[in-house]
Structure formats: structure tokens, C-alpha cells
Structure 1
Amino acid sequence: MLKSLILCINNKKLEAHIQLGLKKSGYNVLTCEDGNSLIRLAHTRHIDLVIVDEELRGLRAIDVVNIIYTEKICPVLIVANDFRNDYIDWIEKGWIYGSVHLPMNQVELLKIVKGAIANGERMLLLDREIEKLKKQLAERKIIEKAKSILMEKKSCTEEGAYTYIRKISMNKGVPMEKIAEAIIRSLKSKK
């Protein structure tokens, strides 16, 4: 699948040079003029990587990076004239994949772009898996709480309580955690 990048560099000659190299390497490259348009573009398209000038117009580069990171859109590369110590903090926090310093070698840039996209995809998959596991754990906690209520109120075993919840779930075509929530709510309303 064709990978899409947003390129937002103040120096238009440099931007054209980077864009040409990336397009020759098979990337779909979108450009924009400032931080605000970059965010709008990132929200409306599937983007695999953002390459942004540290001297961004409109929104500051740090604000753009923070928005993209918070919304888990894609990895970000910062193009900079000089290395700044706060880039290390941004990299450690996961806000940016890395920074590219001027003047840059096109071959090295392509390696960094490829690595950033691959790691970004891996991070997004891990984040989705973590969210899925958190949801499953929360559902399991609700079911366990409902089981303990049933065990106490109906004087049944843990297996019996689980079977009771599962049977109602299957009969009504409702997920077990919803049945468990109803059991917990009914206990609270009786108090």
C-alpha cells in the first residue's frame, strides 16, 4: 500500500527537493503551508508520517507534535537546523520519532522515513492491542463482581453463577458484561 506523508517545510526549495526524493521512492507526499493546515490535513487523510519544520508557521511545532501524538495519528520527524536538547525529551515521550538536521543526505532521510513509518505502525498496533486488553479486563472485572453477587444472593458456586450469566446472555443475545452490569445495578437499586 502506498504510504502517505505530510511535508511542511518553510524553505520551499528544500521542501521541493525532499518531496521529489520521497516521490521517487514511492511515497505519496502532501504539502502544506503551516501548522493549522497540517493538522486539518492529518485529520482528513490517512497519514503514515509527518515531516515538519521546527520553525513552523501558525501552530508551533511542539503543539503540532503534541496533537498528532495525543490523537495517535502517526509518527513525526522534525527537520531542524541544529540539535536541541528538548528533542531528546520529545523522543523519550514518544512525541517524535526523531529529528533530521540540515543539510541532509537524501539516502539517510529515506532510511529514517522508512524506520519512522515502520515503528509508527508497530506502536499504533500495540496501542490498539493495549486498549483491547484493557476493555477485556474491565469486562472481566464486571462479570467477576456480578458472579460474586450471585454466589452470595443465590448461594451458588462460582461455576453456577457464571453459567447463569452466560445462559441469560445467550438467551437474550446480549453480551455477558451487559448482563453482569444489570445484575450489579439491580443490587444497588435494592439497597
Structure 2
Amino acid sequence: MLRILLINDTPKKVGRLHAALIEAGFEVINESGLTIDLPGRVEAVRPDVILIDTDSPSRDVLEQVIMVSRDQPRPIVMFTDDDDPDVMRQAIRAGVSAYIVEGIEAKRLKPILDVAMVRFESDQALRAQLQARDQQIAERKRIELAKGMLMKLKDCNEEQAYTLMRRQAMSRQQKLIQVAEQIIAMNDLLGS
């Protein structure tokens, strides 16, 4: 069963989402208002999903969502009465996986949570791919820098420098980036 942290930011409608969750058979492990520190609450409770019930997400709410999405990513579903497309975009950019406007019915909760979980997993996979690609680009730049240093030091061409680096990597059973970092460090040490 999903562990749900419910954030209730609707004082005039307190309990509407909590009651729908209970009716749908979910267990709400914690319920609080948004006066709390959301990242701290998520750390303490470690929910599978965060549900935010709000009339309209304020800047403070969105900042809290950004912090959680950055440091402790979780699927976040926001139930709101605000159908403003700009507010919706801001919430999605902040890290909300599903932005649900108007109406909370118990029978809709499971499909909504399922979609939010799938979207969250897809977003996380995309972020991981982007991070891996950024890492590859950064490594490629460092390898090129080391190759240039080696070309200058050994007075050789690019292909020869690359061959020297590959041989060193194979003989030491290291990755090419490790050899590149060693060359850069040695160059910095010698002040070349």
C-alpha cells in the first residue's frame, strides 16, 4: 500500500481529500498544513507519494515543492481549484507530477496516483539520462584537454596522444577519463 503524505492547504475545505483517500482504501500516514517545512516532513515520514490539497498553489507552496523535487524526489499530486494555465505550468515546472483541477472523487484517486507514479518514473529516467549525457560531455572535454597537454609535452599529433592515453588506460586497467585526470593533475603540479 502506498504511503501518502497529505498536505492540506485548504482551511475552508479541511478533510475533503483525506475523506476521499480513506473512501478509496488508501492509508494516509500523515496530514499537515503547509506551515510546516515540507522537505523536513518528507525526510521524517518518507512517503511514497505527496498529495497537496490547495485552493491555488502559492509561491511558498511551489518553493517547497521545488526543494522536495530537487533533494528528495517523489511523485507529487496537486489537487486545486485553480485552472489558470500559467499556475499549472509553474506547478509542473516545480515538480508536480499531476495537477488535478476541480473535484475529488474516491474512484478517480487510484488512476490519478497511478498516472502520477508513471509520469514521475518517466521524468526521473529522463533526468538520469540527461545527467549521464552531461557527465559524458564533461569527461570528453577533460580528455580533450589532457590530449592537448600531452601533444604539447610529447610534441606529437592528436592521434598519437590519444593512442598513448589509451595504452596507459589499458595497461593500468583504468578508464580513459582517469588517465586524463592524472595527466591534467600532473600538468598542474609541474606548472606546464
Normalising by structure 1, report the TM-score: 0.75
Instruction: Tell me whether 1:19 sits opposite 2:18 in the alignment.
Output: no
Would you say how many aligned residue pairs link Structure 1 and Structure 2? 185
Deviations 1:139-165 (A, max 9, x none): 121112212222333233434322322
State the partner residue of 2:104: 104
Match of 2:5 in 1: 6
Q: Is the 2:75–2:116 contact (alpha carbons within 8 Å) kept by the matching residues of 1?
A: yes
Task: Return 113-122 or 42-51, whichever deviates more.
Answer: 42-51
Question: How many angstroms apart in 2 are the aligned matches of 1:137 and 1:17?
Answer: 50
**Could you tell me which residue of structure 1 aligns to residue 32 of structure 2?**
33
| Superposition map of 1:125-164 within 5 A | 125-164=125-164
Change (3 A) 1:142 1:55: same
| CA positional deviation for 1:137 | 1.6
User: Once structures 1 and 2 are overlaid, which stretch shifts more, 60-69 or 9-18?
Assistant: 9-18
Q: Which has the higher mean CA deviation after the structures are superposed, 100-109 or 114-123?
A: 100-109
5 and 125 in structure 1: CA distance in 2 versus 1, 3 angstrom threshold: farther
- Where do 5+ consecutive residues of structure 2 fail to align? none
Counterpart in 2 of 1:165? 165
1:136 CA drift (Å): 1.6
SS at match of 1:83: coil
**Structure 2 partner of 1:182:** 182
Aligned letter for 1:97? S
User: Residues 160 and 33 of structure 1: is their aligned pair in 2 closer, same or farther, counting only changes over 3 Å?
Assistant: same
Shift in CA distance, 128/157, structure 1 to aligned 2, threshold 3 Å: same
Percent identical among aligned pairs is 21
Contact persistence 2:150–2:161 (CA under 8 A):
yes
Deviation (angstroms), 1:86: 4.3
In structure 1, stretches of 5+ residues that fail to align are none
The 1:82/1:144 distance shift into structure 2, 3 A limit, reads closer
Aligned residue type for 1:178: Q
